[in-house]
Amino acid sequence: MNTTTLLNRRTLITLALADVVLLVIANVTAKSSGSPGTVSNVAWVLFLLGFLSLIVLGVLALAQSRRSRSRAH
């Protein structure tokens, strides 16, 4: 994969790690109080948005990789 592209492995791994941190924050803030508050809700929304964007970026990276391989042959 070309290292100058936006969708390289390092970018996807960094986004995945950030998403895991958001998941942990959402779980900790939800469990620390009897009723989940605003911080927990915001963390869950950010986690879900990050997860969906990871799926989209992963599909785009896969398509980009396949397209570049087909041009090389």
| Mean local confidence (pLDDT), 27-33 | 78
23 three-class SS: helix
Is position 2 within any domain? no
Burial of 26 (0-12, 13-18, 19+ CB in 10 A): buried
Asked whether residue 4 is assigned to any structural domain, the reply reads: no
Confidence of residue 39 (pLDDT cuts 50, 70, 90): confident
Which domain does 64 fall in, by range? 9-72
Residue at 48 is within a domain: yes
In this prediction, residue 5 has a pLDDT band, given cuts at 50, 70 and 90, of low
Total domains in the chain come to 1
Is residue 3 situated within a structural domain?
Answer: no
Query: 0.85 exceeded by the pTM?
Result: no
Mean pLDDT of 22-41: 79
Residue 52 has pLDDT above 70, yes or no: yes
